[in-house]
Amino acid sequence: MQLDESLPKKSFSVLPVVNCQAAPLNEDGKVEKNIYECPVYMTELRGKDFIFNALLRTPKYVPAKWIIAGVAIILDVEGISDSYAPGKQSPLQ
């Protein structure tokens, strides 16, 4: 239920299904502390494939840690989505 360090020797982790919902910011327009505004992209190419910023909780670390690390959500990682068809075992386990 929060952003955390990845496991050793894993370049990425699969994010579980997330229900995204638009909501207004706080009345003063400020974002809460310890929230990382994670960019969401359609493909690994990033750039023009940007969709929106997901607000992810990060109580253990400051959001700057994830900015420096280049953390992003990629919706379609080539070759990975095919491995998660019903009945197949995850290749990441």
Asked, for residue 56, whether it belongs to a domain, the answer is yes
Scanning the chain, the segments in alpha helix (DSSP H) are 63-69
Q: Is the pLDDT of residue 93 over 50?
A: no
Number of domains comprising the chain? 1
| Domain extent at residue 66 | 35-78
Q: How far apart are CA 89 and CA 74, in angstroms?
A: 21
Q: Is the pLDDT of residue 91 over 60?
A: no
Asked, for residue 29, whether it belongs to a domain, the answer is no
* CA-to-CA separations, 54 to 36, 79, 85, in angstroms, rounded: 8, 24, 25
Asked, for residue 19, whether it belongs to a domain, the answer is no
Q: What's the pTM value of the predicted model, to 2 decimals?
A: 0.70
Q: Is the pLDDT of residue 80 over 70?
A: no
Instruction: Find the Cα–Cα–Cα–Cα dihedral 9, 11, 13, 14, rounded to 10°.
Output: -130
Asked, for residue 83, whether it belongs to a domain, the answer is no
Residue of 78, 67, 92 lying closest to 16 (CA atoms): 92
